[in-house]
């Protein structure tokens, strides 16, 4: 088997050496992210819906996952730090997430997002293949009582599947009475008796938001 050069995270220093493909693959299978569908380790198809019609829009499911290691048990006081080297900024700061690893062999929940740069509180991934480094440790990170339990890396693959649905505005049967001026713009008037152009407007709902449609005049203006 042909040796290849891989790097593992030890503390905050990357240690590189010669190893075999089989060893790297074993490390990938032992550790990684279980996503909210719970179907597989380190693989996720994100559900994306494109709505077409008179009420267009997009929906994408929230991407949530939990770190687990098949050979390193969780326990009280244990944590895991995960970094993505791809998003290192110009000051060499590397985005990371640091989570408790103490119950049922899973970490605290990690919220993910798609993107090309790190932003906000979510852990950003690029669509497709991402190589992440992890460090499981006891104690407080960077303090004298910190003890590294395990370091390594794993590869996750996250892609999206777009489905298309037709969605139209749901118009209400009852019309909304309004007052308009000569140009057809809605104006405020205390009573319809004083309104020069009484009218009725269609009112509907699109994705939970109120929308307004055509205006129909109740009577024509006469000089």
Show the beta-strand stretches assigned E in 61-145: 63-69, 78-83, 96-100, 109-114, 123-125, 128-138
Q: Residue 193: its pLDDT value, please?
A: 75
Burial of 189 (0-12, 13-18, 19+ CB in 10 A): middle
Give the whole-angstrom CA distance, residue 150 versus residue 80: 9
> 207 lies in a domain?
yes
Same domain (yes/no): 23, 60 = yes
Domain that holds residue 192: 170-217
Looking at the fold, whether 47 and 155 belong to one and the same domain comes out as yes
Task: Show which of 150, 166, 182 is a domain's final residue.
Answer: 166
Q: What does the pLDDT look like over 89-118, one tens digit per residue?
A: 555 677 889 999 988 889 999 999 887 776
Q: Do residue 106 and residue 181 come from a single domain?
A: no
Structural domain contains residue 121: yes
Indicate if 157 and 204 belong to the same structural domain: no
**Percentage of the chain modeled with pLDDT above 90:** 48
Is residue 122 domain-shared with residue 194, that is, in the same domain?
no
Q: What is the mean pLDDT of the chain?
A: 80
Q: pLDDT at residue 3 above 80?
A: no
* pLDDT tens track for 66-95: 999 999 999 999 999 999 877 765 556 778
What mean pLDDT do residues 139-151 have?
93
Biggest CA pair distance of the chain: 95
Instruction: Based on the fold, state whether residues 162 and 174 are members of the same structural domain.
Output: no
């Amino acid at each position: 088997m042909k040796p290849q050069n891989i790097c593992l995270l030890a503390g905050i220093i990357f240690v590189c050496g010669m190893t075999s493909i089989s060893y790297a693959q074993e490390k990938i299978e032992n550790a990684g992210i279980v996503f909210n569908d719970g179907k597989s380790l380190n693989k996720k198809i994100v559900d994306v819906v494109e709505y077409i019609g008179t009420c267009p829009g997009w929906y994408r499911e929230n991407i949530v996952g939990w770190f687990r290691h098949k050979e390193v048990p969780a326990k009280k006081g244990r944590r895991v730090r995960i970094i993505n080297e791809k998003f290192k900024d110009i000051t060499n700061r590397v985005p990371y997430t640091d989570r408790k690893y103490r119950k049922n062999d899973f970490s605290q929940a990690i919220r993910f997002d798609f993107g090309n740069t790190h932003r906000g509180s979510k852990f950003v991934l690029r669509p497709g293949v991402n190589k992440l480094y992890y460090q499981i440790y006891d104690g407080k990170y960077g303090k004298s009582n910190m003890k590294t339990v395990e370091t390594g890396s794993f590869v996750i693959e996250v892609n999206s599947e777009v489905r298309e649905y037709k969605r139209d505005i749901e118009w209400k049967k009852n019309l909304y009475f309004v007052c308009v001026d000569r140009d057809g713009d809605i104006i405020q008037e205390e009573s319809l008796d004083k309104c020069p152009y009484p009218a009725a407007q269609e009112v509907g709902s699109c994705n939970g938001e109120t929308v307004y449609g055509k205006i129909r005049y109740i009577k024509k203006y006469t000089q």
